Structures are given as structure tokens and as C-alpha cells.
């Protein structure tokens, strides 16, 4: 039996319409999972890619800037796909400004989406997973789970919080057969990092530090997600897996 096989399992991936979320949703489908693609924008292209792999993909519309849709995401996934085994909390936003100028609005918007909604979606999925005897939760952390960064105070706070939350939930839910881990992407070429890529000096300084000497592609995260979602990672708990081209090793 292939321990990485996800056939018969159902995953929820938030922010699945583009970038990292899309790549993870497709990778899970390639491994055999059916996928509920959650986001403010319909993940039509992602669902088409999932269907081309012979798996079921469903669009679940939800704006995770508040916790209002959290329970519905779980209920709608189970209604459309029959069960829920895997949750990938990928949806996130970023706001940039010097710390001395940072606004309360930009603080709340980022923390509400990146941390508050993540916790309550973990809670809603966790209740279901505990009741069914197991499941997999994968949070998307960041290099700023480990480092401070610059000009992104609310993002750094939210991603540092994701690291702690991942460990806390693992401590509470491991005994129920629910694994809770995180993936910390390095510098990945997505919409969230477009401003950094467009800044020639900053872009070069980033590349100079990455041992792999390139920006990551969203597809680079697929294997890590499949691993953490699979039986191969049944004894992995509270771990933050960096997929960073060696950034943290430099």
C-alpha cells in the first residue's frame, strides 16, 4: 500500500483559486483526494484542473476576512463531497508599511484573515475530525514565523501566531488521531510577493541569500502538502516544515 495515497479522502483548501493554494489543491488531487476549493473568488480554473485528473473539485465561496462563513465551509464541503479528512489553511493577505505608520485597519485586516479565521476554521474542522476519529490539518506558515521581516508587522504577528497555534492544536488533538502541522514557504513567486519581485534591489538581495538561487514555484509546495496529509505523516505532530530553497539554512 502506498502511504502517500489519498484516494477516498476529501480536502478543503482555502485560497485555492491561485498561487500556493491552487498548487496544493492540484497536488492533493493528483494523490487521489477530492477537493473543496474555498475562496472569495471562484476557483474555476483549479476545479477544472482537478476534474482533468479524474477527481471531484467543488467551489465553496467564502470571504474569510471574518469568521462568519467558517461553519458553512465545513458543512458545505461535507454536503457536496461526503466527508472531510484534510484541511489546508492557505488563505492569507499582507499589508506593507513602516511600523511607525502602520494603521489599525491594516493590522486588523491581516490578523483577522491570517490568524483569527484560521483558528476558527481549525476548530470547526477539528470538531468534525475528532468525532470521526482522525484527520489532517495543515496551516500555511511563513519564513516570518521564524524571522521578523520588515514593513509587515501584522503579517509577521499573524504568521508567528500560526506557528504557536499549530503546536497548541497538535498538543490537544494528537490523542484523537488528528495531526496538526504547518508548511512554511520560502520566497515563492505569487501575487503576495509581486511587490518584492518588482523591486530590483530587494529582489536581488533575496536571490543572493537563497542557496537554490531562485524564487520558489507554488508547485514546490505540493509534495510537502501531500506528505503531511497522508498516512506517511501519521506520527508527525506540531511540525513546521520549511520549503524555502535553503533560506533558513543560510
Residue range 237-250: average pLDDT? 98
pLDDT band at 195; cut points 50, 70, 90 = confident
Distance CA 12, CA 35 (A): 6
Per-residue pLDDT, 52: 98
Q: Report how far apart, in Å, the C-alpha atoms of 130 and of each of 8, 79, 174, 177, 218 are.
A: 18, 18, 10, 7, 30
The CA distance from 229 to 63, in Å, is 24
Which domains does the chain possess?
10-242 (3.40.50.720)
Q: pLDDT tens digits, residue range 211-225? A: 999 999 999 999 999
DSSP string for residues in the chain: --TT--TT-EEEEETTTSHHHHHHHHHHHHTT-EEEEEESS--HHHHHHHHHTT--EEEEE--TTSSTTHHHHHHHHHHHHS---EEEE---------GGG--HHHHHHHHIIIIIHHHHHHHHHHHHHHHHT-EEEEEE--GGGTS--SS-HHHHHHHHHHHHHHHHHHHHHGGGTEEEEEEEE-SB-SGGGHHHHH-HHHHHHHHHH-TT-SPBPGGGGHHHHHHHHSGGGTT--S-EEEESTTGGG-
pLDDT at 1 (0 to 100)? 87
Considering the entire predicted model, what is its pTM?
0.97
Per-residue pLDDT, averaged over 30-48, amounts to 97
pLDDT band at 191 (very low <50, low <70, confident <90, very high): confident
Residue with cell 489546508: 88
pLDDT average, residue stretch 161-171: 98
Give yes or no for residue 8 having a pLDDT over 90. yes
Query: Percent of the chain having pLDDT more than 70?
Result: 100
Question: What mean pLDDT value characterizes the chain?
Answer: 97
The confidence score (pLDDT) of residue 192 equals: 77
Per-residue pLDDT tens over the stretch 104-139: 999 999 999 999 999 999 999 999 999 999 999 999
Which residues are catalytically annotated? 155
What does the block give as the cell for 157?
Answer: 504577528
Residue-level pLDDT at 196: 86
Over range 89-97, report the average pLDDT.
Answer: 96
pLDDT value of residue 181: 99
Residues 6+ apart with CB under 8 A from 87: 11, 12, 121, 122, 125, 135, 136, 137, 138
Amino acid at each position: 500500500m502506498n502511504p502517500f495515497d489519498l484516494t477516498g479522502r476529501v480536502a478543503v483548501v482555502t485560497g485555492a483559486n491561485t498561487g500556493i493554494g491552487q498548487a496544493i489543491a492540484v497536488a492533493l488531487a493528483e494523490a487521489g483526494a477530492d477537493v473543496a476549493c474555498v475562496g472569495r473568488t471562484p476557483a474555476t480554473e483549479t476545479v477544472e484542473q482537478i476534474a482533468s485528473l479524474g477527481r471531484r473539485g467543488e467551489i465553496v465561496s467564502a470571504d474569510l476576512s471574518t469568521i462568519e462563513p467558517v461553519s458553512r465551509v465545513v458543512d458545505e464541503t461535507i454536503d457536496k463531497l461526503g466527508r472531510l479528512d484534510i484541511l489546508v489553511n492557505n488563505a492569507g493577505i499582507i499589508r506593507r508599511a513602516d511600523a511607525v505608520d502602520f494603521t489599525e485597519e491594516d493590522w486588523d485586516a491581516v490578523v483577522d484573515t491570517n490568524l483569527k479565521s484560521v483558528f476558527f476554521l481549525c476548530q470547526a474542522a477539528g470538531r468534525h475530525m475528532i468525532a470521526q476519529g482522525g484527520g489532517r490539518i495543515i496551516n500555511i506558515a511563513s519564513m516570518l514565523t521564524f524571522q521578523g521581516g520588515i514593513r509587515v508587522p501584522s503579517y509577521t504577528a499573524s504568521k508567528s501566531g500560526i506557528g504557536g497555534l499549530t503546536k497548541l492544536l497538535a498538543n490537544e488533538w494528537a490523542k484523537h488521531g488528528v495531526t496538526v502541522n504547518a508548511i512554511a514557504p520560502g520566497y515563492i513567486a505569487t501575487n503576495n510577493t509581486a511587490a518584492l519581485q518588482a523591486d530590483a534591489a530587494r529582489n536581488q538581495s533575496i536571490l543572493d541569500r537563497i542557496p537554490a538561487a531562485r524564487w520558489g514555484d507554488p508547485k514546490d509546495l505540493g509534495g510537502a502538502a501531500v506528505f503531511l496529509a497522508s498516512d506517511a505523516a501519521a506520527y508527525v505532530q506540531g511540525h513546521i516544515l520549511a520549503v524555502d530553497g535553503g533560506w533558513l539554512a543560510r
